[in-house]
Chains A and B, each alone.
Chain A
Amino acid sequence: KAGVTQTPRYLIKTRGQQVTLSCSPISGHRSVSWYQQTPGQGLQFLFEYFSETQRNKGNFPGRFSGRQFSNSRSEMNVSTLELGDSALYLCASSVQGASNEKLFFGSGTQLSVL
């Protein structure tokens, strides 16, 4: 079974641009969550999608958005990029997103904003 796949692996953008990151969960997993990882803030929850619906959202500005498609693949978008958005963005999937389920993580997308 293929693992969680995130593309692209690396991205370099400039301030003011927008970016779209993609995540393909493990087959059969319907929950996809996104996390931002930085040296200063650690792992911060962005949002979680289940069956194409956003079920939960972290404390990030509206520039951060996401969506989930009928095949459970998910995308997140960041508009009007700021230098502080430079981070490793991790996607994780699970079957139902239940609280007792483990998360399967992708290798992440490393975003650098110049």
Chain B
Amino acid sequence: AQSVTQLGSHVSVSEGALVLLRCNYSSSVPPYLFWYVQYPNQGLQLLLKYTTGATLVKGINGFEAEFKKSETSFHLTKPSAHMSDAAEYFCAVRITTNAGKSTFGDGTTLTVKP
């Protein structure tokens, strides 16, 4: 079984400030971890994913995330927020023993203030 917890349903930052969105997971086997972004009235699109190898993963739009097995975390960061980053962000986990299923966190809405 697998689960995801996103800490903070709403995060507000100023333009140019650091963005940090938190994600912790629980999994009985090594997980694959994903961050997706959803803009209003749209589906989700992938920001980045961790499968194997390097634990620091770089994604689109300047986002990156670090897989920390000891902390069961996969937090999403961006050094400098842009107004266009305002959206809802979802962390997701998949495991090989549960084919085809992604388990999503409840989402974090990011607001960027001018």
Contact = CB atoms under 8 A, between A and B. Distances in A.
Interface string B33-44: 010100001111
A104 B38 CA distance: 12
Interface string B56-74: 0000000000000000000
Interface string B19-33: 000000000000010
Give the interface residue-count category, chain A. 20 to 34
A62 interface: no
Contacts of B101: 33, 45, 48, 56, 58
B32 A99 contact: yes
Interface residues of B, number: 26
18 contacts: A4-B43, A42-B104, A42-B106, A43-B90, A43-B104, A48-B101, A50-B100, A90-B43, A97-B99, A97-B100, A99-B95, A100-B49, A100-B52, A102-B46, A103-B102, A105-B43, A105-B45, A108-B42
